[in-house]
Copies of this chain bind each other. A is one copy, B any other.
């Protein structure tokens, strides 16, 4: 958690979906600092007990009624829920496609006007690692997961153009305690920077539908966030301090491996596609 909050704006009630996931658990105490009540949502019985200022709203994203209930009375949503890795098409369709439709219909129904959407760098995973991509370049998803995140971004655009619901789509790189391999020297976003970015996305006065890549201030980067500077995100960490250690661990790379060549890393060659039709 940051020494001081990244913003003085305070919400009455925020909803955090996917609160039981790895990143959701990290964000749970952090987001609490910006609201009176933090409502937490996740599938099944995974959230533990509600702490002070917390309330629970378990929901399967494919369950329309449950999602509608979860958005009742919230000012804004941080949507971390859904499938976050390459899985079967059915799982991804239910969690990330139907789930997104449910979420935005619920927002429309309840008059929720701001959503921070956890999109992913895998929407452009088939660009090469020697290319610098901006949020306005055409997408090149690297699997069903990335494809579902493209869907989510386009849905957010639709609900902005048609219903005036604002979204910041954050194409998260690699939000971990530390970069795990050389690819993450480019994609890493520290937890503190993740908090900074989400808070900026929640509090920027006007965002319409904006797209931003989620990364720290790494020397190596594949993404140009110039078009998203209006959001006010300024990363303060960098993968550079981990470089020596990471490089020492992974001296050699196989440049014939698509996972080395493309930005999506291993995502470009895994997944249930190959489950043997």
The interface of chain A, by Cβ under 8 A from chain B, is 4-5, 7-10, 68, 89, 93, 97-98, 101, 105, 108-109, 113, 126, 128-132, 136, 138-144, 146-147, 150-151, 154-155, 157-158, 161-163, 182-183, 185-186, 200, 203-208, 210, 218-222, 224, 226-234, 240, 243-245, 247-248, 251, 253, 255, 260-261, 268, 273, 277
Contacts and interface: CB of A to CB of B under 8 A. Distances in A.
Most chain B CB inside 10 Å of its own CB: which residue of A138, A186, A244: A138
B222 A230 contact: yes
B277 A206 contact: no
Specify how many copies of this chain sit in the oligomer. Answer: 6
Contacts of A243: 7-8
Contact of A150 (B150, B204, B251): B150
B234 A240 contact: yes
A81 B161 CA distance: 27
A130 B206 contact: yes
A181 to B, nearest CB: 10
B140 A157 contact: yes
Interface centre among A108, A155, A158, A234 (most CB of B within 10 A): A158
